[in-house]
Structure 1
C-alpha cells in the first residue's frame, strides 16, 4: 500500500524549511518531492532516527537533507514495518529487559567507581614523571604558611635528633629494598591545631611540635614517620588528586550543566567517594607501618599506643561517613592483630 505524507525538508547547515512530500512505497522505496531536493531513494540508503515512544522520526538522506514529517503517526507506522526495531524501542515494551538493563548498568557503574577509578588513578600516579610529582609537592608546600604552620619551637638539639631518627628509618627501609623516586625529607612545624602529621606528593613528611610532644618515646615518633612514608611510597596524595579529578569530570558529564542542584549533586558524589578512597589509603599506610614495626621490633604496640593517645587528645564526635580517616577503634583493633 502506497501512502503520502507531507512535511518539510531542511538543507544541510541551513535552518530554512522547504515544503516537501514523501511517498511511502513498497519494499522500502521513498519518493521525495521538494524544490531543493527530489528523487527516489531506498530506505536502507538513508539514516532514520530511533523510535522513541510516539516522537516523530526524521529521515536523513545521503546528501544531508533531512525530511521532517507533519504526519508523524503515519510515517512512524510505515517505518515500523520497514525498519528493524532499535534496542531502545524493544526496551520500552519489555519491562523485564528494562529491569535487567538497569541492574547491569548500576553494577557496571558501581564496579567502575569502587574498583576501576582507584585502579586507573593508581596506575596513572605511578607513571607520572618526577617533574610533575615535584611540581604538585611544591604547590602544596606553598600553602603551609597560609594554613597556620610556623617555625618549630623545639630545641635545635631535639630537631637534630628527629632528623637522625628519620634518616635511620629511611636507611632501614632501604635495606629492605623500599625505595622512593624522590628522597623524602622531614619538616617540623609548630601549629595551633595541635598534633598532626601528613605527607606531600614530593616526599616531604611534616610533623608538628604537638605530635612529637604527644609521643611518649621515639618509637612512637618512628611509627608516625612510617605511616606517612607509607603514603609517599604508595603515592596516595597523587592518587587522591587524580581520583577526585576523574570523579568530578565524570559526574559533571552525567548531569550535564553542573549548576544549582546538579552542582550540589556533583560535589556530594565526589566528596563521598573521595572520603571512602581516603580511608582506604589510611588503612594501607597503617599496614605499611605495621609490617615494618613488626619486622623490626616484633610488635605494633608503638603505633597502637600513639593512636590511643591521639584518641584521647582529639575526642571529636565525627561520624564515620564524614571522616577522611577510618574509625580509630577499627584502626587500633586491626593493628593489634
Structure 2
C-alpha cells in the first residue's frame, strides 16, 4: 500500500467564548482505495504566523507521497528533516508548533489508514486498550470583566447538566477577580464542582505563584499547572517542594521532558497528540511512566478527529493518573 494523494480542507469553528479557531482536515488517499483522516488543529493560536495552505500541502506531499502508511516510524524520521521544532526539541511556549501539529495530522491519518486496513481500532496498533474511558475536565477562562462571572457560572451549570463536573480554571490576570469568582463558584455549586486545576499559564514568577496558591488554596484544587516562566525549572522545583497540590507542566518534546525530570520540577506531564502525533505522545508517556511521573492528556481545541486521536491515546496509556483536558467541539 502506498500513499497516492492528499486533500486539505480548511474550516473554522466558533468557541463558546466567541473566538474563532481555524483547522485543516487532512484526507490521505492510498492506491488501495483507503482514505485516512487527520486533523491539524487550532492554528489561530499562532496569530501572526499562520501557515500558508499551499505551502502546507506541498510540504506534506513531499514527505508522504509514495510512502507506506504503515512505516510510521520512518515517516517521523523523515518529517524531522522538514518540520522543525517538534518532539526532539520545541520552544517553551506555545507547547506545540505548526510543525508538530502538521506532523500530528499526518500521524493521525496514517494510523486511521492502518486501522481501516486491518479492521481494528487504532489503539490496538500502539499497545492496546488498558481502560474503557478517560475522565475529562472542562477549561474555564479567566475572569477579566464583570460579565465573565455570570458567563462562567452559566457554563458550569450547563456542563453539570451534561454530566461534566470537573473543571480547570485559568488564573492570574487579576487575583482579586479570581478569588471573587472562585468564591461565587463554591457558594453556588458547593462540592458538586470538582476543581481539578488552577492554570497559571507560565505568566508569573514562582514566588508570586506561591503567594497566589496560598491565597486560593481554601477553594480546593488537585493540581497547579505552568507555575513559573517556562525556562525557570528551578522555580518550578521550588514550588513543588512547598505545595501539597501536584505540579503539572507541558512536556512537548523529549528535550523538555528530560529537563523537567532532571530538575525534579513536576509531578505530572501534560502530554498531547499535538506534539507530533500519537507515536511521539506515546514515547513521552513511556518516559513519564519509567520516571515515576504521572500523566494527563492536554489539549488545544480539537475537532472530532483530533479528539478521537486523543481518546485512542488515552485508553492505551499505562499511566494516566489525572483527569484530562480534551473536550473537543464542546469548547
Tell me the TM-score range normalised by the shorter chain.
Answer: under 0.3
Specify which structure has the bigger relative contact order, considering alpha-carbon pairs within 8 angstroms and separated by 6 or more residues.
2
More helix as a share of residues: 1
Larger Rg: 1
TM-score, normalisation: structure 2:
0.25
